[in-house]
Structure 1
Amino acid sequence: MGTDIRHAVVMGAGMAGLAAARVLADSCEAVTVIERDRLPDASGPRAGVPQGHHVHGLLALGAEVFEGYFPGLRAELERAGAPVWDWGEGLCAVLPHGTPPPTPMGMPIQTFSRPLLEHALRRRVTALERVTLRDGLTVTGLRTAGPGKVVGVRVKDGDGEDEIAADLVVDASGRSSHLPQWLAALGLPSPRTTTVDAQVGYASRTYSYPEGQAPPSWMGLLQPLRAPDFPKGCYAIQIENNALHVTLHGAGDTQLPCGDEDFLAYAKTLRGPIAETIASLTPTSAVRRYARTVNRKIAYHRLARWPDGLIALGDSVCTFNPAYGQGMTVAALEARLLEQMLRSRRTRTPLDGRDFQKRLARITVSPWLMATIPDHAWGHPRSAWPIKAGNWFMNRLIDTAPHDPRVYTTFSGLFHMTAGPLALADPRLLSSVLVRPRPGESLRTTTA
């Protein structure tokens, strides 16, 4: 282990920050995680994660990576009531052209609330001897030794301002990151920012089952949006405390529900069993709405200069429309990249931050396309032909899934990032997707 990174500072105690701190604890003498929020002692939502009230999904690949860093995590969450189930058998997918029958895939999925997972990870990370978590502290800027080297951060709390020295600073502060402004203050050019906004909003709440009432036969219910004909959808999952967590989606000008009656009324406008399911359940939370779903990518990897002693990851660099459930898994993969680069560097060689940002950008390519190709169809009717072609093919793939178990399994692997794009090159799969007609197919519902 090189001793060049004696102390690392991680900004943000969300998923990306906790995963990074876990990895850094193996290579640094000390790791300080700084969080603006006052963190709860138990599992519960917090102000800095407003989307914590909404359904979250940890993809199969992300669950594997987290289990590797936190052995026994799945069993711990299961003891807390988070069910484990096979994606192909337990999901009711209400797709535009049908619902695939139960299809065993050997793809274990675990469903829980975001606060439960974050609390479990936070407890594991803070138990590490080398990690210190300081909450209620706001980072106000970078501490530098000239424009080319970051040597710590400036912070403030209710008692005043202070500085914390560090050999490596990790920005995992999420969507609210101030890193572009801080880099500009160092005289670096502004990185290019790309956004794709489908103007999707959410409304969510949790339910309990009345005594004696059995839960539904499915563990998860998915009804995706699709431009232009399907501006409404939902995702519902069974979670801890024998609860059902329901998020209703709406795109464009769709009016989302605010209260009890219109939540059920909105659900009744959807195909599938969601309205029938929740009609007899007992609400256990208020209706919460959320609309910050823009996909945003900051091209730090294209900057010609990058300060030593600094990296950025997680939502600070690339955020996805949460409807696709990719954020936590991408954060896990970025932590794995950090571990690989820390292990492979020569003793006493600093971490190459510019190279890290370039490699991180490659990790985000596929999930970015999975999220933005369908989202382009809502707000960008004149999209470039590769995007239109990609959206057309993805729609054909989804339309074939209810009628072909092989296609459904392949698409599920792509969705959960356990399979790469090359899985689509199977000639039999391409034949099913491109040639076989779909019942009730129309040009309008299969093109961008």
Structure 2
Amino acid sequence: MPMGTDVRHAVVIGAGMAGLAAARVLADGFEAVTVIERDTLPSASEPRVGVPQGHHVHGLLALGAEVFEGYFPGLRAELEEAGAPVWDWGEDLCAVLPNGTPPPTPMGMPIQTFSRPLLEHVLRRRVSALEPVTLRDGLTVTGLRTAGPGRVTGVRVKNGDGEDEIVADLVVDASGRSSHLPQWLAALGLPSPRTTTVDAQVGYASRTYSYPEGQSPPSWKGVLEPLRAPDFHKGSYAIQIENNALHVTLHGAGGIQLPRGDDDFLAFTKTLRGPIADTIASLTPVSPVRRYARTVNRKTAYHRLARWPDGLIALGDSVCTFNPAYGQGMTVAALEARLLEQMLRGRRTRAPFDGQGFQRRLARVTAFSWLMATIPDRAWEQSRPALPVKAGNWFMNRMIDTVPHDPRVYTTFSGLFHMLAGPLALADPRLLSRVLVGPRPGGSLHAATP
């Protein structure tokens, strides 16, 4: 039977990062919040079928960590108790950049590293404990329940052979890359939103290692060796995570074949300039090699639709998804939840939520992250980039090439990367002069040793 309409009720489709963050915010403004997840959710910190990217290195940027800590006080300490290390980005990262490796540079920028399953498990447990929240897994949303094309009143669901409806005042699509929202809107007679994609055709191969008893981890907590068109087709990101493990993700672009097994995984690392090959040579693999290739950047322009139904919003990867190499997804999800909180607080009591206004403001939230991901990724595409993209890519590469030789540029770039600074930081005359002058001699031009 459909849930009654006398309770102010929000439904969230998807129990990933965006869905959990949204549910946390909605729990403060609705009497009941139901999170619907297609997967059967594990009771422990384990990967799940609906998150194939969960086997690969994930990063929570510094700003995202701050926002999540505000919504879940004590989260960092809880993750640290579970073994997730906390470290300073400038001091403990080995950044193997095209023009060299910057020396350790204290920044006071705390970073915490962990596996995606651990973070999701802790957040899911926190959200499930909220009194208004009910988490229903193993349930598939098949469509929207409506009162005509202009009003969404809930969702239709399927559980095994049975079908049902759940009535809601607000439906939040946080179902991710596999969202069916464009088709659902079309079924209501609404126009199809424009979709923009940028595909660098980057692939990943990942595995996790443990340290032999008595062997200490290396001095660094993370290694970052980024790709860059057209010359650097191979890269990696490795981080220390819980259970005293090292999580390694290898990147390949431009037709590079990624490893499938033990021998070719090690062989690939030996072609890199960083310390990964020497580090993992003495470690014990505790997972198989897993590959992933769904790294396309995709933006759906819901904010440009002239008509948008009441009672519906979309956020997270359902709207804008990024190449995971840049680590922006979880942080952007946190910022979208913060936008949702701001708009819920700003509306009149019992007034319908302004879904169209939300989509328009969400587009502004994602705009800078979209540029940060797609400007370098467009350089891998076969077509000649437009002049603004070419200029932006030149400036970004120039800045990165200056990083190993200039601690101030390194700190500013790190603030941009971690979203602690916005695009206005790029207009700082001191930064512009340093970047335009270019790299200066005397910086570190070698990769760190393990």
TM range (shorter): over 0.9
Aligned-partner Cα distance in 2 for 1:162–1:203: 40
1:44 aligned residue (46, 50, 65): 46
Aligned-partner Cα distance in 1 for 2:66–2:394: 31
Aligned-partner Cα distance in 2 for 1:436–1:82: 37
Matching of residue 342 in structure 1 with residue 339 in structure 2: no
Query: In structure 2, what residue type is equivalent to 1:356?
Result: F
* Aligned-residue offset at 1:272: 1.3
Query: Does the 8 Å CA contact 2:398/2:438 hold for their aligned counterparts?
Result: no
For the residue of structure 2 that corresponds to 1:269, the secondary structure is coil
Aligned-partner Cα distance in 2 for 1:13–1:360: 20
* Aligned-residue offset at 1:436: 3.1
| CA deviations over 1:236-290 (Å, ceiling 9, x no partner) | 0000000000000001210000000000000000001111111111100000000
Gaps of 5+ in 1: 441-448
Partner in structure 2 of residue 403 of structure 1 = 405
For the aligned residues, what is the CA RMSD? 1.2
1:218 aligned residue (212, 217, 220): 220
* Aligned-residue offset at 1:213: 1.0
Correspondences of 1:254-403 after superposition (within 5 Å): 254-403=256-405
> 348-357 or 294-303, which moves further after superposition?
348-357
Query: Does the 8 Å CA contact 2:79/2:119 hold for their aligned counterparts?
Result: yes
Query: In structure 1, what residue type is equivalent to 2:160?
Result: G
Residues 437 and 20 (structure 1 numbering): CA distance in 2 closer, same or farther, change over 3 Å? closer
* Aligned-residue offset at 1:437: 4.4
Partner in structure 2 of residue 185 of structure 1 = 187
Query: Does the 8 Å CA contact 1:197/1:375 hold for their aligned counterparts?
Result: yes
Query: Does the 8 Å CA contact 1:4/1:348 hold for their aligned counterparts?
Result: no
* Aligned-residue offset at 1:5: 7.8
| CA deviations over 1:51-84 (Å, ceiling 9, x no partner) | 0000000000000000000000000000000000
| CA deviations over 1:14-72 (Å, ceiling 9, x no partner) | 00000000000000000000000000000000000000000000000000000000000
Residues paired across the two proteins, number: 438
Partner in structure 1 of residue 142 of structure 2 = 140
Partner in structure 1 of residue 83 of structure 2 = 81
Correspondences of 1:120-199 after superposition (within 5 Å): 120-199=122-201
For the residue of structure 2 that corresponds to 1:118, the secondary structure is helix
Aligned-partner Cα distance in 1 for 2:383–2:392: 14
Correspondences of 1:18-29 after superposition (within 5 Å): 18-29=20-31
Query: In structure 1, what residue type is equivalent to 2:337?
Result: A
Aligned-partner Cα distance in 2 for 1:380–1:31: 46
Residues 62 and 205 (structure 1 numbering): CA distance in 2 closer, same or farther, change over 3 Å? same
Aligned-partner Cα distance in 2 for 1:4–1:264: 60
* Aligned-residue offset at 1:4: 9.7
Aligned-partner Cα distance in 2 for 1:354–1:159: 35
Query: Does the 8 Å CA contact 1:168/1:310 hold for their aligned counterparts?
Result: yes
For the residue of structure 2 that corresponds to 1:379, the secondary structure is coil
Query: Does the 8 Å CA contact 1:373/1:387 hold for their aligned counterparts?
Result: yes
Partner in structure 1 of residue 110 of structure 2 = 108
Correspondences of 1:221-236 after superposition (within 5 Å): 221-236=223-238
* Aligned-residue offset at 1:431: 1.3
Aligned-partner Cα distance in 2 for 1:40–1:230: 39
Residues 267 and 90 (structure 1 numbering): CA distance in 2 closer, same or farther, change over 3 Å? same
Partner in structure 2 of residue 240 of structure 1 = 242
Residues 8 and 409 (structure 1 numbering): CA distance in 2 closer, same or farther, change over 3 Å? same
Partner in structure 1 of residue 447 of structure 2 = none
For the residue of structure 2 that corresponds to 1:169, the secondary structure is strand
Query: Does the 8 Å CA contact 2:405/2:441 hold for their aligned counterparts?
Result: no
Aligned-partner Cα distance in 2 for 1:386–1:429: 20
* Aligned-residue offset at 1:435: 1.4
* Aligned-residue offset at 1:428: 2.1
* Aligned-residue offset at 1:159: 3.9
2:60 aligned residue (58, 61, 65): 58
Partner in structure 2 of residue 446 of structure 1 = none
Partner in structure 1 of residue 423 of structure 2 = 421
Using the size of structure 2 for normalisation, the TM-score is 0.96
| CA deviations over 1:107-139 (Å, ceiling 9, x no partner) | 000000000000000000000010000000000
| CA deviations over 1:159-218 (Å, ceiling 9, x no partner) | 410000000000000000000000001011100000000000000000001111110110
| CA deviations over 1:345-372 (Å, ceiling 9, x no partner) | 1122111000000000000000000000
Aligned-partner Cα distance in 2 for 1:106–1:438: 25
Query: In structure 2, what residue type is equivalent to 1:65?
Result: V
Partner in structure 2 of residue 119 of structure 1 = 121
Aligned-partner Cα distance in 1 for 2:382–2:261: 32
Query: Does the 8 Å CA contact 2:401/2:439 hold for their aligned counterparts?
Result: no
Query: Does the 8 Å CA contact 1:399/1:438 hold for their aligned counterparts?
Result: no
Query: In structure 2, what residue type is equivalent to 1:358?
Result: R
For the residue of structure 2 that corresponds to 1:85, the secondary structure is strand
